[in-house]
Every structure is written in C-alpha cells, then in structure tokens.
Amino acid sequence: MEQQIQLDQALENIQKLVDNIETVIRGKRTQIQFILTALLAKGHILMEDNPGTGKTVMAKTLAQSISAKADHTGVNFKRIQFTPDLLPMDLIGSHIFDDIKKEFIFKKGPLFCNVLLADEINRASPKVQSALLECMAESQITMGDITYKLENLFFTIATQNPIEMEGTYPLPAAQLDRFFIKIIFGYVDEETELDIYKDYLGIESNLQHIQQVLSMDEILFLQGETEKVFIHEEIIKAVRNIVWGTRRHADIVLGASTRSGITFLKCLKAFALVNGRSFVTEDDLKLITSAVLDHRLIYRNKEAKQKAIAGILDAELARLSKLNIGN
C-alpha cells in the first residue's frame, strides 16, 4: 500500500523551486526536472556540455534558490572551480597549527557544505577527482584517525566539458557510477535563444536578485516524501529486465551493476514526484532510463551508444504497455 504522501505540499514546493529557477534558466524544463530528481533521490548530478551552455548558471541558480542568505534556514552553498593544479586538501581541508592552543586543528575545506558546485570536474587531476567522489559516496571524510561526517544534505552538481576537449582528465567508469544522473545540457531552441538575447540584461540581474524559496527542512521533507513514492511490481520487474538487458547486450561491454539498479529505482521515485505523481509509470521509465544508465555503461562502439539502451527500453515498454491492469 502506498504511504500517504503530502503530495500537494510537495508539489507546491517543487513548483516554487522550478518557477524560481526558470526566471533565470529558460527552455530547460527537462534538465531542471533531472536536477531536482537527483536532489530528491539524495544523489548527485553530472552535467556535460560545451562551455557556455549555462551549466554553471544553472547550478548557481539552484544553489541560491535553496541556500541561506541572512537566516540559517537555508542551505550552505560552496563552489569549487576545478583546475589541474588543485590538490585534495583544497577540497577536504587541512590540519593547521593553532599557535594559541599549541595543537593542530582541522580547518574544514569547501566540501563541508550542503550544495557543492564542482565546476569542470574533469579538468582536475585524478587524485582530486577521486577524493571528491569518495566523499560523495561515503558522505564522510576521514583525516588520519578522525572521521568527519558531512552534512545531512549533501548535493553535488558537477559539470564537465566533453571528454574530447583539450586539457581534461576523463572520469573512470567506476567513479561516474557515483553520479545518479548525467545529463547533456544542450543548446536551447532557436526561439528561446532569441528571447534570451533580447533581455540578457534582465537575466543577469535576475541571477543577482534570486531569492531563496525553500528552506533546508523543506528540502529534507521532499527527500523524505520521495521515499514514499509507490513503485508497482511490474515497474520493478522492468528495471530488473533493463539492467539484465544491458549485461546481456552484445554491444555493451560493461553492463549496469546492482547498485545502478537501486539508484535507478530511487531516481524513478524522485522523477515521479517531480512530475507530480505519487506512483511511477511507463513515462518515467521512458524518460529517465537513458539519463540514469548511459554513463555507467561501456559500449563497443559509437553506433551502439545511440541504439542499445533505446532498444532494451523499447522492448520493456512494449511489454508493459500490453499488460492488463493487474491488481
């Protein structure tokens, strides 16, 4: 039985957030939904595209919409610009000697925050990358003997330039797995682009004057509600079939793991809630599969990359669409 969800309140919160972001970012409804999905699923998101498509603006807008300005109800937002010479301790923090107390104290790095924008993550060295990704997975940092817990809410928005660009260190597949969702940001359509040009000044000022609309508690509340979204057994079966499908597929070298499957289910729940539903449908499956699974798989060739997942998904959707109403 589905748990009673405070759907109206949840929806109201989500809507507020989306509207707020859309005052700055235009024509990116799908991407916004994916980002919120990752946020609500207690995961992290990776955005990839060419420079100048609005990735950073997007991350900043989201962060500002939920981060604290004056009061303490908002979340703590930090931004790190990754460069090749960045060191792990620049992220985590370091022990420094306190002259007064005559002892080493731990100076927390930018990782100790609620929302982290890791810009151009693939420009940093692998050492730094793995330090970040480890924190994302464990939600804690260990320095020597002491383990520091990260905040309750820890959401990373990473951006990266396409792998082919110069001066980048591609992330290994095992580390990409830490990101719940990877989206291609993409260009806006022609009309929206025209709109953006017409009042680019307006957008600039919007970004500066963006208001905090949700408090930390409200975000945690939404995360809690996400857990309660109902997944029908057939959908779970479909997820299982898709995961197995990637392992059996001739054109996929490395298939999805069981952890990927669990992540997939979490994302489905969050995505359903973002779309205003307390249950998961075929549509959710259809829209989110590629974003959740694509970056976890290693394909045999480029052609397969475009077709393999779609093929597996279509077979599963066809099966679902013919099912009778079961219970």
* Binding stretches for other proteins (CB under 8 A): 1-2, 230, 232, 234-235, 244-245, 248-249, 251, 277-283, 285-287, 307-308, 310-312, 314-315, 317-318, 321, 323-327
Query: Smallest distance, Å, CB 290 to other proteins?
Result: 12
How many other C-beta atoms are found inside a 10 Å radius of the C-beta of residue 107? 12
Could you tell me the end-to-end alpha-carbon distance of the chain, in angstroms, rounded to an integer?
12
Beta strands 45-48 and 181-184: pairing type? parallel
In whole angstroms, what separates CA 236 from the centre of its chain?
22
Taking the least distance from each CB to other proteins, the nearer of 98 and 189 is: 189
Query: Smallest distance, Å, CB 159 to other proteins?
Result: 28
Query: Smallest distance, Å, CB 280 to other proteins?
Result: 6
Taking the least distance from each CB to other proteins, the nearer of 16 and 232 is: 232
At residue 16's C-alpha, the angle toward residues 15 and 17, to 5°, is 90
Taking the least distance from each CB to other proteins, the nearer of 172 and 311 is: 311
- Write the burial class of residue 71 (CB in 10 Å: 0-12 exposed, 13-18 middle, 19+ buried): exposed
Taking the least distance from each CB to other proteins, the nearer of 21 and 268 is: 268
Question: CA-CA distance, 110 to 70, in Å (whole number)?
Answer: 19
Taking the least distance from each CB to other proteins, the nearer of 173 and 323 is: 323
Query: Smallest distance, Å, CB 291 to other proteins?
Result: 14
Question: CA-CA distance, 112 to 141, in Å (whole number)?
Answer: 9
Question: CA-CA distance, 18 to 37, in Å (whole number)?
Answer: 12
Beta strands 93-98 and 103-108: pairing type? antiparallel
Beta strands 93-98 and 252-254: pairing type? unpaired
Taking the least distance from each CB to other proteins, the nearer of 203 and 317 is: 317
Taking the least distance from each CB to other proteins, the nearer of 146 and 325 is: 325
Query: Smallest distance, Å, CB 281 to other proteins?
Result: 4
In whole angstroms, what separates CA 183 from the centre of its chain?
8
Taking the least distance from each CB to other proteins, the nearer of 195 and 234 is: 234
Beta strands 155-160 and 140-143: pairing type? unpaired
In whole angstroms, what separates CA 173 from the centre of its chain?
16
Query: Smallest distance, Å, CB 265 to other proteins?
Result: 14
Query: Smallest distance, Å, CB 65 to other proteins?
Result: 27
Question: CA-CA distance, 28 to 57, in Å (whole number)?
Answer: 12
Q: Which of 217, 230, 239 is nearest to 319 (CA)?
A: 239
Question: CA-CA distance, 193 to 200, in Å (whole number)?
Answer: 10
Query: Smallest distance, Å, CB 288 to other proteins?
Result: 10
